[in-house]
């Protein structure tokens, strides 16, 4: 019985070793196949980055131009708002007109 168990364990160990060997071969094959793909992915990413850079530069340039063009309008809007505030303050701080003159009606 002990010999039979020993033989079974030996068979199992042999099978496990074969399976581990096949798994290692498969993993090695996958790595070999993945390496060129990884290289191509890096290359494609670099190409996309190189192609995107001029677009980003143009977008930055356009944004700067828009800010430069908008600045005078913003300045005028701030100035107009300031003038309106000054006019509103003037209207609110004026003495009310009573229409009674100098207050001499009751004297």
Q: Where are the beta strands (DSSP E) in 5-104?
A: none
SS3 content of the chain, % helix, strand, coil (to 5): 90, 0, 10
Residue 58's pLDDT band (boundaries 50, 70, 90)? very high
Report the pLDDT averaged over residues 52-74. 92
Domain assignment present for 102 = no
Number of domains in the chain: 1
- Structural domain boundaries enclosing 59: 2-92
Domain assignment present for 34 = yes
Domain assignment present for 33 = yes
Give pTM, 2 decimals: 0.40
Residue 105 pLDDT more than 60? no
Residue 21 pLDDT more than 70? yes
Domain assignment present for 45 = yes
Which pLDDT score, from 0 to 100, does residue 103 have? 54
């Amino acid at each position: 019985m002990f010999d039979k168990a020993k033989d079974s364990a030996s068979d199992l160990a042999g099978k496990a070793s074969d399976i581990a060997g096949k798994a290692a071969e498969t993993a090695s094959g996958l790595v070999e196949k993945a390496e060129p793909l990884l290289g191509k992915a890096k290359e494609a990413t670099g190409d996309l980055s190189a192609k995107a850079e001029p677009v980003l530069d143009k977008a930055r340039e356009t944004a700067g131009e828009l800010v430069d063009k908008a600045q005078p309008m913003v300045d005028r809007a701030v100035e107009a708002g300031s003038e309106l505030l000054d006019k509103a303050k003037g209207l609110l701080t004026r003495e009310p007109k009573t229409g009674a003159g100098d207050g001499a009606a009751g004297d």
